[in-house]
Amino acid sequence: MQSTTPTASAPGLTVRTILGLFKLRIGVVITFTALAGLAVSSGPSLSALQLIVLTLSVLVSSAAAGAFNQYYEHDLDPKMARTRNRPFVTGQIKHGPFWLGVIGVLTVTSVGAAWLALNAWAALYVFLGAFFYAIVYTVWLKRRTWLNIVFGGLAGSWAVLAGATAADPGHGAVPLALAFVLFLWTPPHFWSLAIACRDDYAAAGVPMLPVVVGNERAARTIFYSTLALVAASLLPAAFGLGWVYLGAAVLGGGLFIQKAWQLTRNPERKTALACFHASLIQLTLVLLGAIIDAQF
Ligand code: HEM
Ligand SMILES: CC(C)=CCC/C(C)=C/CC/C(C)=C/COP(=O)(O)OP(=O)(O)O
């Protein structure tokens, strides 16, 4: 996460600034999500070149969407402590058509490469991932409704399907189940952070769930949506994955439920951050479990 100290002047462009602009840590996890989708698909294995293209196209389109999000929110980001040091805010990167062009070229190149080296389905899902984050969530929904994250959360599902259809355009049951898991994972992941940063979102006028209904109701919603998520995370085992996956899903799910329960008991920043971190651990376990299990 970013520092909360405002920057007084605009220092020069650094590698760190660029990495921050493209939200690369999240991009790496999105790419890992696509690779998990690939692992659980039942198609033939990809060539080394196809694997590289899949990895880079998901990483680059996700990076482009992350940069677009910061480009579009250069008016919103100064209002929040967590985001006010971002480069379009500090002036480290100039807000203007050049960067919009870079973002457009990166998106078209990554979707086009997926189409050429993989197939139209994989390219469509790479496109939808970036489109749902950049346009559906950031432009259309984020400032309008607390349901922003419910629809925006489909971005993670598209990542699973991009990986899975790269090898098998047939949309198998296990990849579809994993895509559903990602859809249910994103709201409690984000609402936990939204409780921790509630004052920021309220000050910026963004209608995130805790701002609209208060921390207590938001915490209860997180708890119930985590229960739904954990139940859904067992589906890939019902459709074919084995004990390694099931063990990882139960372990990660148990931790997430425990932290979500503690959040309902005491809905404040510390328990919310613990729940947010549990969401990341649970996702890592589910994806790793799926990848390892699919090797047997
Ligand atoms: C539209 C849906 C989503 C929203 C609104 C959202 C929101 C956020 C926010 C606000 C952060 C904090 C970032 C920061 O401090 O700069 C975050 C962190 C994170 N998110 Fe999400 N998220 C979403 C979907 C996803 C998906 C689909 C994944 C992975 C599959 C993901 C993985 C992560 C990871 C790994 C972090 C920690 C990154 C870090 O420490 O820098 N998120 N998310
Ligand atoms: C297949 C594919 C390319 C998928 C890409 C999907 C993708 C990049 C999802 C990331 C979602 C995300 C980091 C949201 C951050 O919320 P925010 O922007 O509201 O957070 P902020 O307040 O930190 O800007």
Best probe residue, ligand 2, of 19, 21, 23 (max atoms within 8 Å of C-beta): 23
Predicted pLDDT at 12: 67
240 CA distance to ligand 2 centroid (A)? Answer: 30
| C-alpha 131: how far from chain center | 13
164: how many CB neighbours lie within 10 A of its CB? 30
Q: Cβ distance 190 to 142 under 8 Å?
A: no
Q: Residue whose CA is closest, atom 31 of ligand 1? A: 26
User: Across all residues in the chain, what is the average pLDDT?
Assistant: 94
Q: In the structure, which protein residues have their CB atom closer than 6 angstroms to any atom of ligand 2?
A: 23, 26, 30, 58, 61-62, 65-66, 69, 73, 83, 126, 129-130, 133, 142, 155, 158-159, 162
Predicted pLDDT at 286: 98
* Alpha-carbon gap, residue 193 to 263, rounded angstroms: 12
Could you report the per-residue pLDDT of 190-221, keeping only the tens digit for each?
999 999 999 999 999 999 999 999 999 999 99
> What does the block give as tokens for 199?
């004052």
List of residues 6+ apart from 241 with CB closer than 8 A? 40, 174, 289, 290, 293, 294
Ligand 1 close to Cβ of residue 100 (< 6 A): no
Predicted pLDDT at 5: 40
> What does the block give as tokens for 142?
């984020």
Could you report the per-residue pLDDT of 123-136, keeping only the tens digit for each?
999 999 999 999 99
Q: What is the ipTM of this complex?
A: 0.94
Q: Residue whose CA is closest, atom 29 of ligand 1? A: 30
* Alpha-carbon gap, residue 124 to 212, rounded angstroms: 34
Could you report the per-residue pLDDT of 27-82, keeping only the tens digit for each?
999 999 999 999 999 988 999 999 999 999 999 999 999 999 999 999 999 999 99
DSSP state of 133: I
Predicted pLDDT at 291: 98
Lookup result for tokens 């047939």: 170
Could you report the per-residue pLDDT of 230-245, keeping only the tens digit for each?
999 999 999 989 999 9
26 CA distance to ligand 1 centroid (A)? Answer: 6
| Least confident residue range of 1-5, 23-27, 96-100 | 1-5
Best probe residue, ligand 2, of 1, 2, 22, 30 (max atoms within 8 Å of C-beta): 30
Helical ranges in 22-93 per DSSP H: 24-40, 48-72, 87-90
| Closest-CA residue to 131 (of 171, 159, 150) | 159
Q: Cβ distance 249 to 287 under 8 Å?
A: no
What value does the mean pLDDT take over residues 259-284? 98
| Least confident residue range of 40-44, 171-175, 273-277, 288-292 | 40-44
* Alpha-carbon gap, residue 230 to 23, rounded angstroms: 27
Nearest ligand atom owner, CA of 107: 2
Q: Residue whose CA is closest, atom 2 of ligand 2? A: 129
| Closest-CA residue to 82 (of 164, 175, 176, 4) | 4
Q: Cβ distance 86 to 70 under 8 Å?
A: yes
Which is the closest atom of ligand 2 to the Cα of 190? 16
What value does the mean pLDDT take over residues 83-98? 92
Predicted pLDDT at 11: 59
- Relative orientation angle of helices 24-40 and 269-293, to the nearest 10 degrees: 40
Q: Which of the two residues, 3 and 277, has the higher pLDDT score?
A: 277
> What does the block give as tokens for 123?
């390219």
Nearest ligand atom owner, CA of 79: 2
pTM of full prediction above 0.90 = yes
Predicted pLDDT at 16: 84
Q: Residue whose CA is closest, atom 21 of ligand 2? A: 83
150: how many CB neighbours lie within 10 A of its CB? 19
* Alpha-carbon gap, residue 140 to 149, rounded angstroms: 11
